[in-house]
Amino acid sequence: MDFASSSLFTADFAYENELDLSSLITPSTFIPFQEPNPSIPTIHCAGAENDGRQRIRETTTTDEITNEDVEPKNKKAKRREIGRQRRQEVTSLFKNLRYILPSQYIKGKRSSSDHVQEAVNYIKDLEKKIKEISEKRDRIKRSISHSSSTGECSIRSLESSYCSCDGYTHIDVKVRTCLVGIEIVASCCFRQESCVSSILQLLIQEQCLDVVSCISSRLHPRFIHTIVCERQCTQSTVPSKSMAEESPLVLVHRPPTMKYMDEPLTRYYRILTTHTSSDPLPVFLSRHASSVRAVVSIGRFKIDADFLSRLPSLQLIVCTSVGTDHVDLPECNRRGIAVTNAGGAYSEDVADYAVGLLISFLRRIPAADRYVRSGKWARCGEFQLGIKLSGKRIGILGLGSIGSLIAKRLEPFGCIISYNSTRQKQSIPYLYYPDVVSLAANNDVIVLCCALNDQTRHIVNREVMEALGKKGIIINVGRGGLIDEKEMVKCLVEGVIGGAGLDAFEKEPGVPVELFGLDNVVLSPHCAIATPGSFDNVVELALANLKAFFSNQPLISPVRLN
Amino acid sequence: MESIGVLMMCPMNSYLENELQKRYNLHRFWTCPEKSVFLETHRNSIRAIVGNASAGADAKLIDDLPKLEIISSFSVLTEDVADLAIGLILALLRRLCECDRYVRSGKWKYGDFKLTTKFSGKSVGIIGLGRIGAAIAKRAQGFNCPINYYSRTEKPDVGYKYYPTVVELAQNSDILVVACALTDETRHIVNREVMDALGAKGVLINIGRGPHVDEKEMVKALTEGRLGGAGLDVFEQEPHVPEELFGLENVVLVPHVASATVETRTAMADLVLGNLEAHFAGKPLLTQVV
């Protein structure tokens, strides 16, 4: 009989449940028991090997026989009747026994005594198996909860610590596996001052464990200390089934519609998404994400100090956007959390789009398209003239990867490029302006493609727009917050500036309604990056950053935090 | 002063025409029924010719006009046409007109706009590598686009890939741009076969002349999805545009605005007028070629 082949029998299952005989056996095909020959007296069925019980029966029968003399005929019939019944009972008992016993036990056996013997053998075999398997289970359990091979966990020695409060003595310690290694939950009386330090001292002695986090909460009148330890050595001393082989857990903080990272991430990581739980976000984080070391941030969901405080193990935030204004960067810096962004994954598409917005504005392409489709060309004649692009002076605010690609694209059009940026380099061939106002004053077009942060919020204000002038044009492929939107709307309506091509707004998807009726704007629903290629690029980059992080290599597209 | 005869070769710019009418004795060559008779009559009074790229003064004409002193060429700004070609490509591939409509209609509140097609890196095939074709190629290279071209003869040293037929050019390009002059040979140069070769993922940009493209076939190809999209500045029966195109979102339609910038219209016309004036006043010319 082979226990291991039965799917019902697992080590834990056997141990944690009552041993249930019926689930362990495989019923054999029923082989009919040979009915004893009715002519042979009952006595013959109970052979010499039988146990005492049969003998007692025999004795009873014998007794009944001696009483027969009184009423010979009736007694005989009665005796025969009883005998028949007994035979039937025994037969059915043995049928049941034969049915229960696995086939290898009953093969070749016919007599009842053989069956009983085999039944005894079967029970003995089962007992032996159970013992073997529970020993195996205990071994496995020990090896999982102890990362060293030194048998009993030395932490248990804390159990004998004395605490003078009544009813709440002892430190209760539970050790269990968790995602990065082990989690120790120690609960002790609030007067027990040395609980955490004792545990930590023991852990320091265990050289292959690193303490990742230690959180203490008070649950009157006890403290509960949760200590998470990371397995330090990759060469694990744990036999075979080791948790170190399990892939890391990554938290994905995204709106429900933006699913494009999920499948790529699950190829390498286990993911936890914040929007799938009905718990409020702080509760969800505290409950599920205490050991999360990396977060993937998609969309514009805020990652603020409160969010960060609930992820004590967090070391990396991977953003799928270029802009990181939704992340509290100073707080990340304080906590030693690295942040990566989309780097240059979108740069080409955004640069293309910026040039597209500019040409569409100058040559009035959307308005011209509307003009033709409405039939006005045939009815009303020539459309209004546009404005030439070549020779225009273009001022780029923020000469990062997007800004430089925009400059590269506009040069063949005969445009004159200048810029303002936090970095002025000698190697850049374009004219540098030290501030935004002078950039605006000396250019026909300003293109905004810099990061949004405290220094650049509303960097394009009334003063800048007045410097730009009534023929000046703003192209915004950065963030809406770069422009004082209320002022800009006024400037557009009043003709203080010539026009604008806008892909971003302060309160997307809300757009100031005054813009809808204007001819001197081209409006766009923040889709400068929105090509399939861009998303492929950012998936690749995010995975590369995560891979680098989990293998302690330098990050691919880190963001400066200060 | 006797009025100076100026011969204008073809209609090019109404502002220029009006100004020439005002200042000189303007003869409109394209309206003359009997050109040889006309030339006989006026050969001694015509002292200037105003032409352009498609209708210039050839050697015979120069011989026929013994009093000819100056030829002034009105050329559309090459840059403007090339700029518009790139503008049409971007507006078409990135759906800029749709985006603008999307925001203005208030639909953005209910959902993001869809994904569009990337331009950078797409292969651009140019029919005709003249001034305009070359200017388009130069601009497209800024977007890392590989450039292919077709012309009657291969041009050495340009660094772009040459294809001997338009069909082959269409097969090997994502974007096909018509930038050649209109002649008898180039009429319907973009026909059904070319459009099928360009295919459902290819787009056509026409900044040449309407008759360059078999318009009826193109409309069918677009509505049936056999052609990916089109950016059109010119049509066979301007200003009439086939109405089937009005409902398509994979076309951009503009009303012959390739040279319709303020700078082109007034500045170039003024240049022609300025040159003529300078010449007849004995002053140095504003621009001189020969």
**DSSP secondary structure letters along A240-270:** SS-GGGSPPEEEEE--TT--TTHHHHHTTSE
| Confidence category of residue A70, pLDDT binned at 50, 70, 90 | low
Residue A32 has pLDDT above 80, yes or no: no
Beta carbons of A412 and B142 less than 8 Å apart: yes
Res A410: pLDDT: 97
Average pLDDT, chain A: 81
Ramachandran category for residue A215: left, alpha or beta (phi over 0 → left; psi -120 to 50 → alpha): beta
pLDDT one-digit tens code per residue, A324-383? 989 999 999 999 999 999 988 899 999 999 999 999 999 999 999 999 999 999 898 888
Closest CB from B113, B139, B253 relative to A372: B253
pTM of the shown model: 0.66
Q: Give pLDDT tens digits for A498-509.
A: 999 999 999 999
Choose between B166 and A175: higher pLDDT: B166
Assess contact for B250 and B229: CB atoms under 8 A.
yes
Minimum CA–CA partner of B253 in chain A: A369
* Binary contact (B119, A352; C-beta < 8 A): yes
Going A63 to A69 to A75 to A76, the CA torsion angle's sign is: positive
Is the pLDDT at A1 greater than 70? The verdict is: no
Interchain contact, B115 vs A387, CB within 8 Å: no
User: Are A533 and B118 inside 8 Å of each other by CB?
Assistant: yes
Average pLDDT over residues A187-211: 77
Partners of A372 on chain B (C-beta within 8 Å) are 241, 246, 253-255
Residues of A in contact with B101 (CB under 8 A): 366, 370
DSSP A493-557: HHTSS-EEEES--TBTTB--GGGGG-SSEEE--S-TT-SHHHHHHHHHHHHHHHHHHHTTPPPSS
| pLDDT tens digits, one per residue of A412-426 | 999 999 999 987 878
pLDDT digits (tens, 9 = 90+) for A433-461: 999 999 999 999 999 999 998 899 999 99
Q: Which residues of B are catalytic?
A: 209, 238, 256
Count of residues making up chain B: 290
Task: Read off the pLDDT of residues B177-205 as tens digits, 9 standing for 90 and up.
Answer: 999 988 888 999 999 999 999 999 999 99
ipTM: 0.82
At A145, the pLDDT band (50, 70, 90 cuts) reads: low
Whether residues A348 and B118 touch (CB distance < 8 A) is answered with yes
In this complex, do B252 and A365 lie within 8 Å of one another by their Cβ atoms? yes
Chain-chain contact of B120 with A411 (C-beta, under 8 angstroms): no
Confidence of residue A384 (pLDDT cuts 50, 70, 90): confident
pLDDT band at B281 (very low <50, low <70, confident <90, very high): confident
Please tell me which of the candidates B80, B119, B143 has its beta carbon nearest to residue A388: B80
pLDDT of residue A161: 47
Q: Is A256 on the interface with B (CB under 8 A)?
A: no
* Whole-number pLDDT of residue B10: 77
Q: Residue B70: what pLDDT?
A: 82
> A422: distance to nearest CA of chain B, Å?
25
**Is B125 strand, coil or helix?**
strand
| Residues of A tagged active-site | 479, 508, 526
Residue A259 has a pLDDT of: 87
CA distance A351 to B142: 11
3-class secondary-structure state, position A341 = coil
Measuring CA to CA, which residue among A277, A276, A279, A328 is closest to residue A301? A328
Each residue's pLDDT tens digit, B1-50: 457 888 888 777 777 888 888 888 888 888 888 888 888 888 888 888 88
Split at pLDDT 50, 70, 90, the class of B122 is very high
Q: What is the pLDDT of residue B145?
A: 97
Is the CB of residue B187 less than 8 Å from the CB of residue B208? no
Predicted confidence (pLDDT) at residue B214 exceeds the cutoff of 80? yes
Q: How many CB pairs under 8 A join A and B?
A: 175
Question: What percentage of chain A carries pLDDT values higher than 70?
Answer: 79
Residue, of A369 and A120, whose pLDDT is higher = A369
Percentage of chain B modeled with pLDDT above 70: 95
A386 lies within 8 A of chain B by CB: yes
**Min Cα separation A173/chain B (Å):** 52
**Closest chain B residue to the Cα of A357, Cα to Cα:** B96
Residues 323-382 of A with CB under 8 A from B: 348-349, 351-353, 355-357, 359-360, 363-366, 368-373, 377-378, 381-382
End-to-end C-alpha distance for chain B, whole angstroms: 27
| pLDDT tens digits along A148-197 | 444 334 444 444 444 445 545 567 788 888 777 888 888 887 666 677 88
d(CA A372, CA B232): 11
| Cβ-nearest to B91 among A356, A386, A389 | A356
> Do B104 and A356 lie within an 8 Å CB cutoff?
no
Instruction: Tell whether A389 is within 8 A of chain B (Cβ).
Output: yes
Whether A147 has a pLDDT exceeding 90, the answer reads no
